[in-house]
Structure 1
Amino acid sequence: MERKDFLRGLGLVGLGSLAIPMINSCSKDNEDSSSGSGTDSSTDSGSGGSSGSCTVTPSETAGPFPTKVPASLVSSNIVSDRTGVAFTMKIYIKNTNASCAALAGALVDVWHCDKDGYYSEYGGTSMQQADFTSVHFLRGRQTTDTNGLVLFTSIFPGWYQGRATHIHVHIYNASGKSLLVTQIAFPEGTGSAVALVNASTANGYTKGLNGYTYNATDNVFSDSVSEEMSTITGSVADGYVLTHTINVAG
């Protein structure tokens, strides 16, 4: 059995080390897992989320911080009161049951942590001491258009111990049936958006990359990163745009 699958079965995917407590950080383990119905000169590379084959994108854990009532968060601008580098998500949904044609009318939920590594709707625990249980930042739902596209305005995600930078996505069909829970990976390396944003102390990203977990050793992405990799363009000054395609069996 793959280590990732084994850990996922235990609810431990993404736990960087059992010996290191996750204080003041968000994580994908051990929290209440309530479920809910101009271009930079980087070395960024990515397929835009598609490997070129018409196969379903790998499923991943929703983690311990899924949106509790996603239907109440229908919004394309999910910034709320969070600050950071401007960030736009362009996510395309395709249907493997129709030769990967665009899937219109699908419900797409996204959520991610803020620049400091915190999630809304949770907190007050040893895993995330900062209490954001009563707010709903960086979470939203949109419906795909005729091109299978949803757009979200956000801020560039931060990171936390044991995980590479990532975005969570849950896709439903028009009637609300769950089709896929997955995650989106970010290109890394010198000059990448991840490196440049996390060096941007002027925008409040104060941790740098000291202690950062890269995709190659991330327990979610280490065996599937090529199928979950996004394309990112832009700059710290002008903001970044993520483009990604997710294939589902619609």
Structure 2
Amino acid sequence: MERKHFLKSLLVGAISTPALLAACSKDDEAVTPSTGSTGTGTTGTGSSSCTVAPTETEGPFPTKSPASYVRSNIVDGKTGHPLTVKITIKNANNSCAVLSGALVDIWHCDADGNYSEYGGTGMQATNYQAVHFLRGRQITDANGLVTFTTIFPGWYNGRATHIHVHIYSASGTSLKITQIAFPEGVGTALAAVNGYGKGMSGYTTNARDNVFSDDTAGAEIATVTGSTSAGFELTMTLNVAV
């Protein structure tokens, strides 16, 4: 199994096989949508308390050199429903005051469930080793906020739809590796997107996902609003201990 250790510094930063499912287990990574749904106003619970965000695996496809991708627009030509991702970082050791100057990396799969920087193996047949789509880094502003322009992620066997997040201090110390889940069910963005062309048959729900299944309070589920015609917006607050 091809696995890369994430390089934790500022300078150095699918999909349907049993090998991938093992790689995405908890210590590493079916909803039935409403037919014809195009809009959503549903939300997840997010992380409204001052509890530190759960630690999750960076998975088998972490960004190899995140410091090379300081950018807010991470689309890189990939097609899909537009998604604006807004993540607020707060310091749980300071009464959850917003944390400015933190480094936030995100990465996720494309509409077909494939990751850039990997592929050509049993874990992901399509070879995307030479490209870097849907990966990027931003620095939190005075409000602790980073904003990314991307596309709505697709899904692949064994995992619920998700976005990976790695948070660092301004000096490059790793503070948290976690993942963000999406609300599910009738009227949600997930139902509206409907797995792009492949639908949701065989989809792994949050409750059955190896990463999200123990999130009984929904702390890892973002708020997602919008529509397939206007695009979607995801908001999430992640608390870290600095």
What is the TM-score normalised by the length of structure 2?
A: 0.84
Question: Of the candidates 217, 234, 238, which is equivalent to residue 246 of structure 1?
Answer: 238
Q: What is the alpha-carbon distance in structure 1 between the residues aligned to residue 107 and residue 93 of structure 2?
A: 26
Return closer, same or farther for 1:152/1:26 CA change in 2, 3 Å cut-off: farther
Deviant stretches of 4+, over 3 Å: 25-31, 40-43
Q: For residue 227 of structure 1, report the CA deviation from its aligned partner.
A: 1.1
What are the ranges of 5 or more consecutive residues in structure 2 without an aligned counterpart?
Answer: 1-14, 25-37
**1:224: Cα distance to partner?**
1.5
Aligned to 2:184: 188
Kindly indicate whether the alpha-carbon contact (under 8 Å) linking 1:28 and 1:64 is maintained by their aligned counterparts in 2: no
Q: Corresponding residue for 2:35? A: none
1:202 is matched with: none
How many Å apart are 1:22 and its aligned residue?
2.2
Q: Which runs of 5+ in 1 are unaligned?
A: 1-20, 32-39, 200-204
Q: Render the CA deviation track for 1:108-166: whole Å, top value 9, x for unaligned.
A: 00000000000000001011010000100000000000000000000000000000000
**Contact 2:41 2:224 (8 Å CA) reproduced:** no
Describe the shift of the 1:27–1:236 C-alpha distance in structure 2 as closer, same or farther (beyond 3 A).
farther
Structure 2 residue identity aligned to 1:215: N
1:191 Cα deviation (Å)? 1.7
Give the residue type in structure 1 aligned to 2:132. Answer: H
Distance 2:78 2:39 in 1: 27
Query: What residue is the counterpart of 2:208 in the other structure?
Result: 217
Report % sequence identity. Answer: 63
**Aligned counterpart, 1:46:** 44
Aligned residues: 214
Which amino acid letter does the alignment assign opposite residue 211 of structure 2? Answer: V
Relative to structure 1, the CA distance from residue 132 to residue 29 in structure 2 (aligned partners, 3 Å threshold; closer, same or farther) is farther
Amino acid at match of 2:44: G
For residues 43 and 242 of structure 1, the distance between their equivalents in structure 2, rounded to whole angstroms, comes to 11
Match of 2:95 in 1: 99
SS of 1:227 mapped into structure 2: coil
Q: Which amino acid aligns with 1:22?
A: S
Matched, 1:108 2:81: no
What are the residue-to-residue correspondences of 1:1-250 with 2, within 5 Å? 22-23=16-17, 27=20, 29-30=22-23, 42=40, 44-47=42-45, 49-50=46-47, 52-198=48-194, 205-224=196-215, 226-250=218-242
* Aligned mates of 2:206, 2:181 — CA distance in 1: 8
Separation of aligned partners in 1, 2:91 and 2:71: 23
Structure 2 vs 1, CA of residues 109 and 28 (structure 1 numbering), >3 Å: closer, same or farther? farther
How far apart, in 1, do the equivalents of 2:78 and 2:91 lie? Answer: 34
Distance 1:138 1:26, change over 3 A: farther
Shift of 1:87: 0.5
Flag the 1:211–1:43 CA change in 2: closer, same or farther, 3 A. farther
Q: Is contact 1:26–1:127 with CA below 8 Å preserved after alignment?
A: yes
CA RMSD of the aligned region, Å? 1.9
